[in-house]
Structure 1
Amino acid sequence: MSLMVSVSGIRGIVGESLTPAVLTKFTQAYATWLKRGKECSGAPKVILGRDTRPTGQVISDLVQSVLVQSGCNVMNIGVATTPTVEIAVIDENADGGVIITASHNPVEWNALKLLNSKGEFLTATEGKEMIALAETGDLDSATWNNFGISISDASHMERHVEKVLALPYVKPETLAAQKYKILVDAVEGAGSEVVPALCRKLGAAEVIEVGCKGSGLFPHNPEPIEENLQETMAMTAAEGCDFGIIVDPDVDRLALICEDGTLFGEEYTLVACADFYLKQKKGTVVNNLSSSRALRDVAAKHGVECFSGKVGEANVIEVMKEKNAVIGGEGNGGVILPDVHYGRDALIGIGLFMQAFCDWQKENGGGKLSDFKKIFPAYFMSKQKMKLPSGGASVDDAFKKLEAKYANEQVTTADGLKIDFAETWVHLRKSNTEPIVRIYTEAKSKAEADALAERFSRELLELLS
């Protein structure tokens, strides 16, 4: 299994591609990059956090030791969500941050997610600089009397919650009046304590906790997509909940379940949050090329523009800054609110979503979440994966052949290959986190979206075989 090195981090299977030597090399390269940075004077300060995976503590100990021996001062905030670490970098005026998490990947995976002094993922340029240091071995190591120091601070998760509660348009007193009964599935990840706690502070009358013990042993595939959430969806309906909340292990993605056990959908998380937020503050919105057209339609309703960037948080943030967007994110359930920080944040998403639903209920004299979803443009997506055949043809060459075949359609090659048809679209791209090609399609019906995905899966496989 090859190591995945990208804007999404240094990711691999622990003990196979992600070894102590690999972790040491990239951590030392990151420390070297920080120390040589133009904005850094003296010993770099690094925020270190992790999710709950069984390998997280050991890897955290190793990473902390390498950072200290490389001359960095470390603030270890322990188990924390990815957005919590991002915010902590800003609040502590740190030079960078490291989150030990493989996000939605299975339990045998882990990763280093690396942040710059803005609390954001390294840009493409920054990432190349850091990776070049790792590859050349041009690395700094502190002398015995210039080691850094490490301290622990477990307060940042609570401080993150307070930032959500402090948003002027999130009103816990109005939410409490709705007496929501909520099911929370945190897949035993970093959200196990903080997500139920946030829901209660936002006024939930009852919170049913599923997968909230923080063991790191995921009860189901942790990627919050429909095929992995069947039991959670059924339980939400069976328990008579108003809605269900699902987060991934590092809590930067948010999916929602309606009261009848149907999926509100990770694609519609950003759509609903953006629709609500644009009522508070007008401005452009941004998603990625694999996201639903529904956001474009919502933006048009509010008289603002919608732009799309390449897949990946850093790429979306780059476009958000360029277009001065007031809200953005990705269709995988990631919500980015610059008012708080530039990072996908499920806790922010929960606050915005609950208030959006509450306000709609007050305006309409009640109603269910399944009814609330009907106010948004109806699109259906299919998200499939295709493992790359060993020894096959180049994916890039296959994409070029498909590009030529569909030259009469609207074709985008900024991130893999996206083909926009009149009523549908397909987006093919190599994953940054797994040795697969992701095939995303959207249409006016689920059957049509599935059929389109299967069609392009066959076409691509023929070109790769």
Structure 2
Amino acid sequence: MTLIKSISGIRGTIGGATNDNLTPIDAVKFAAAYGTWLKDYAGKDKLKVVIGRDARLSGEMIQNLVVSTLVGLGIDVIDLGLSTTPTVEIAVPLEKADGGIILTASHNPKQWNALKLLNEKGEFLNAEEGAKILELAEEEDFNFAEVDNLGTITTNDAYMDIHVDEVLALPLVDAEVIREKKFKVVVDGVNSSGGIAIPKLLDALGVEVVKLYCEPTGHFPHNPEPLKEHLGDICKKVVEEQADFGIVVDPDVDRLAFISNDGEMFGEEYTLVACADYVLGKTKGNTVSNLSSSRALRDVTEKHGGTYEAAAVGEVNVVTKMKANNAIIGGEGNGGIIYPESHYGRDALVGTALFLMLMAEKGGTVAELRASYPSYFMSKKKIQLTPELDVDALLVAMHNKYKDEDVSTIDGVKIDFAENWVHLRKSNTEPIIRIYTEAKSQIAADELADRIIGEIKEIAGL
């Protein structure tokens, strides 16, 4: 069982011992730390925080604990109930709230949950703010409100509809253009809130929806990370239904993957490439993704006359660089679309609408669209960490081994070779080392990953 404390929040497995897992006591402690920090940060007595959760089995329990803790601190709560990460992000500024908490472990399996923390803009906290909250949680020096000053709870279950309306109002989204194409799409909502939110958007755009795992029961029918090895059912369903394509989201709906009309993966790396292609074709500008993302975004950006920059992995790092570089679209290669015209957060609803506009204007099939982009292939592998492994020493050793290559240490170690690259980093969300590679064939990408894993294991004596 595991508890991971990072600048982006607290994430862990349900059950077990306190301080080692996400138990009720840990949930209360970290909610209290966030609320205590927020009162100091906002510099005022009366605060308001937006709370929403995905459909995972522990969600309602964790939500009750977090909401009650904030109320106990004298903070008013806007309770969205079942929601999505981007929905909470847009709700915070719309409600003029002082912050937000999303209760979701994103792509992690059902035994996990997390508190993801937002500021008054509905954006993730930076490293300094996150570190302060972790410090407060360790100290456990909380000052709760007296009975006459307790916070209040206001429920609002309309925000998924409001979110859809916000997407429809974007200048580059034209519902009539999409509606005329009479698209048919299969949606895999992994039995979480995406099974509600994505069909709502598609219905509003006049798209015929075939639902697959769209009941928000929290019983994930497959590993919820939207990778090829987990998506056999929807790949088959797209072909059976003769659909134009398939849409897959993770439990909190900030990651987006497409299935082509032939039942093959469009490639989650190419979600951002396609959406950026559409946006850059309408508006000149720059892009940003993280160091683990495909070179294809750079190629498409330069084709449209823009400049591409890479940020450290993590949404807050990408957003920071996007603001610095005036990027008009960006995100992460895991299918996370960040479109500032909407908000600075990964949003599968925004990505879906932009992709539909691209398809409506370009014509042809999704498979043909994918074939039109620069062809890169990625391998995403991992090494499970054990307490005796010194990860930092391993990364230094790999850096030294390849010091004559083009090496970046902004985030872990990224080695850029002429024809391919490898990125090694310790995960912020799981006890693993991630090994991402990209090459001009799948075989070459897999072979590079396997070679690097072998070298790491040799150095570690595994």
416, 422, 431: which is aligned to 1:420? 416
Indicate the residue corresponding to 2:11 in structure 1: 11
Letter in 1 for 2:10: I
1:9 CA displacement: 2.1
- Say yes or no: does 1:375 pair with 2:372: yes
Please give the per-residue CA displacement for 1:404-444, whole angstroms capped at 9, x wherever unaligned.
11111100111111000001000011111110111100000
Indicate the residue corresponding to 2:398 in structure 1: 402
Letter in 1 for 2:436: Y
Indicate the residue corresponding to 2:236 in structure 1: 234
Letter in 1 for 2:40: R
- The aligned runs of 1:350-365 (5 Å cut-off) are 350-361=352-363
CA contact (8 A) 1:75 1:152 kept: yes
- Say yes or no: does 1:24 pair with 2:28: yes
Given the two structures, how large is their TM-score scaled by the length of structure 1? 0.97
CA contact (8 A) 2:161 2:200 kept: no
- Say yes or no: does 1:188 pair with 2:184: no
CA contact (8 A) 1:286 1:307 kept: yes
1:3 CA displacement: 1.2
Indicate the residue corresponding to 1:67 in structure 2: 70
- Say yes or no: does 1:200 pair with 2:203: yes
Letter in 1 for 2:30: F
Task: Report the secondary structure of 1:145's partner residue.
Answer: helix
1:118 CA displacement: 1.0
Task: Report the secondary structure of 2:61's partner residue.
Answer: helix
Please give the per-residue CA displacement for 1:201-259, whole angstroms capped at 9, x wherever unaligned.
1121x211001011110000000011111221111112111100000000000000001
Given the two structures, how large is their TM-score scaled by the length of structure 2? 0.97
CA contact (8 A) 1:28 1:140 kept: no
1:390 CA displacement: 4.2
Distance 2:319 2:447 in 1: 32
Letter in 1 for 2:13: I
Residue segments in structure 1 that go unaligned for 5+ positions in a row? 362-366
Distance 1:431 1:128 in 2: 17
Letter in 2 for 1:410: D
Indicate the residue corresponding to 1:175 in structure 2: 178
Letter in 1 for 2:432: I
Indicate the residue corresponding to 2:125 in structure 1: 122
- Say yes or no: does 1:34 pair with 2:44: no
CA contact (8 A) 1:7 1:314 kept: no
Indicate the residue corresponding to 1:261 in structure 2: 263
Letter in 2 for 1:6: S
- The aligned runs of 1:43-82 (5 Å cut-off) are 43-82=46-85
Task: Report the secondary structure of 2:443's partner residue.
Answer: helix
Task: Report the secondary structure of 2:149's partner residue.
Answer: coil
Indicate the residue corresponding to 1:295 in structure 2: 297
Moved more, 106-115 or 174-183: 174-183
Moved more, 50-59 or 286-295: 50-59
CA RMSD in angstroms comes to 1.0
Letter in 2 for 1:428: L
Distance 1:247 1:133 in 2: 34
CA contact (8 A) 2:195 2:216 kept: yes
364, 370, 382: which is aligned to 1:385? 382
Distance 1:461 1:238 in 2: 43
- The aligned runs of 1:123-142 (5 Å cut-off) are 123-142=126-145
CA contact (8 A) 1:309 1:316 kept: yes
- The aligned runs of 1:272-351 (5 Å cut-off) are 272-351=274-353
CA contact (8 A) 1:87 1:119 kept: yes
Distance 2:158 2:327 in 1: 30
1:458 CA displacement: 1.0
1:40 CA displacement: 3.8
Letter in 1 for 2:68: S
Letter in 2 for 1:352: L
Indicate the residue corresponding to 1:440 in structure 2: 436
Distance 2:145 2:194 in 1: 36
Which consecutive segments of 4 or more residues in structure 1 shift more than 4 A? Answer: none
Distance 2:439 2:3 in 1: 34
CA contact (8 A) 1:292 1:331 kept: yes
CA contact (8 A) 1:7 1:312 kept: no
Task: Report the secondary structure of 1:184's partner residue.
Answer: strand
Task: Report the secondary structure of 1:279's partner residue.
Answer: helix
Quote the sequence identity (%): 53
Indicate the residue corresponding to 2:454 in structure 1: 458
1:84 CA displacement: 0.3
Task: Report the secondary structure of 1:427's partner residue.
Answer: strand
Distance 1:320 1:2 in 2: 33
Letter in 2 for 1:71: G
